[in-house]
Amino acid sequence: MALTDAGRVVFDYAETLFATAAEMRRALKELEGLERGYLRLGASNTPGIYLLPPVLAGFQKLHPNLEVTYHLGNSREVVQGILNDQTDLGFVEGHVSTPGIQVQPFVEDELVLIAPADHPLAARASVGPSDLARETFIWREAGSGAREGMAKFLEGAGIRPRASLEFSSCEGVKRAVSAGLGLSVVSRRAIQMELSLGILVVVRGEGLSLLRNLFIITRKDRRPSSSALAFLANIRKRVF
């Protein structure tokens, strides 16, 4: 079964009407003031787990009656949430070039190569690509900004992994590395606790780190709500 030409026209107009109705409901909520509005946030793992929770906690103390939803997913899912008008603000770790999406840098991040503390390479003062040729690497799933970053990292360092495993979360990747299943590339922000406890180490060597930006994304054709603007203002006061 398929829509007729007339059905497709009606469907397109219906989508526009539903989006307009949702924006109207939001505008009416805003008339009640910021304290009675709502905010829908989406974030990929690095910003969503390691950066935003303290910001959100402080924001909710300022606006305790504001209704906030918070969705964690990979970068592709966060972008889709913005496009579908299910999310007001998105925070991702991969560069976004999707039409209709407004992108602005959020904060600088560093990708590093990690290994379990008892790995033979952990004690080396410097490691080169040839030392890593026989290692297994732990990847994030397709659609993850972390996977994109890791691919750029390994390509820039001239590393061709012998074998690979895939996990769908940063925590899964860290657990896999600490268990000795392989090496991986993650944000330095994601491993502060593991470094302090001596569970993981950063493998040192020329080219074995990569600076990147994390990004804030919104829809180009949607006016940011009062709550979204307030949250962005709160973020810009923070030092990460």
Phi, psi dihedrals of residue 219, rounded to the nearest 5°: -80, 135
Is the pLDDT confidence value at 176 over 90?
Answer: yes
pLDDT one-digit tens code per residue, 7-28: 777 777 878 787 777 766 665 5
How is 131-191 classified by DSSP, letter by letter? GGTT-EEEEEPTT-HHHHHHHHHHHHHT---SEEEEESSHHHHHHHHHTTS-BEEEEGGGG
Q: Are residues 86 and 133 in the same domain?
A: no
Name the maximum alpha-carbon separation found in the chain: 69
Q: Whole-prediction pTM value? A: 0.79
The answer to whether residue 1 is domain-embedded is no
Separation between Cα atoms, residue 216 and residue 89, nearest integer Å:
7
Query: 195: pLDDT confidence band, cut at 50, 70 and 90?
Result: very high
Same domain, 50 and 140: no
Domain of residue 168, residue span: 108-213
Q: Same domain, yes or no, for 103 and 114?
A: no
Does 98 lie in the same domain as 126? no
Same domain, 41 and 160: no
pLDDT in tens, 218-227: 999 888 888 8
CATH number of the CATH domain containing 93: 3.40.190.10
Residues 29 and 61 in one domain: yes
Shared domain for 128 and 103, answered yes or no, is: no
Most confident range (mean pLDDT) of 113-122, 126-135, 160-169 is 113-122
Do 103 and 190 share a structural domain?
no
In the chain, how many domains are there?
A: 2
The pLDDT tens digits of the residues spanning 58-91 come to: 999 988 888 899 999 999 999 999 999 999 999 9
Ramachandran region, residue 198 (left: φ > 0; alpha: ψ -120 to 50; beta: rest): left
- 45 and 91 fall within a common domain: yes
- Residue 2 resides in a domain: no
